[in-house]
Amino acid sequence: QAQLVESGGGLVQAGGSLRLSCAASGRTFSTNAMGWFRQAPGEEREFVAAISWGGAVTDYADSVKGRFTISRDNAKNTVDLQMNSLKPEDTGVYYCNAGLGLILGVEGPYWGQGTQVTVSS
């Protein structure tokens, strides 16, 4: 059974950095785009970043451009999100997602359980 497991969340002060990682198992996602969404308390889940199956194409929400970097390692079946210059508004649960159309804006059918990121001011 396909499974995505996130790690790397935590508490950090504004201006700090965190690196999230998503490990896929149960199947290979090398032909799928992979990405990250987040959900703040009381808010809807929103797109953060995505990367194409080969890694050549990336997409970011305007709110994180220039601060976050997404990368993937198909040999290890992982996707990472390097988050720098974190702001309190980046606080939320971050979810890993995978799917064929994700780089085109279509949420994939595979989700992780989420990892909490809290940025203090």
Classify residue 35 by burial, with Cβ atoms within 10 Å: 0-12, 13-18, 19+: buried
pLDDT at 100: 85
- Residue 103 confidence (pLDDT): 84
Q: Provide the β-strand partners of residue 8.
A: none
What integer best gives the mean pLDDT of the chain?
A: 94
Per-residue pLDDT, averaged over 34-57, amounts to 95
Q: What is the pLDDT of residue 28?
A: 79
The pLDDT of residue 54: 92
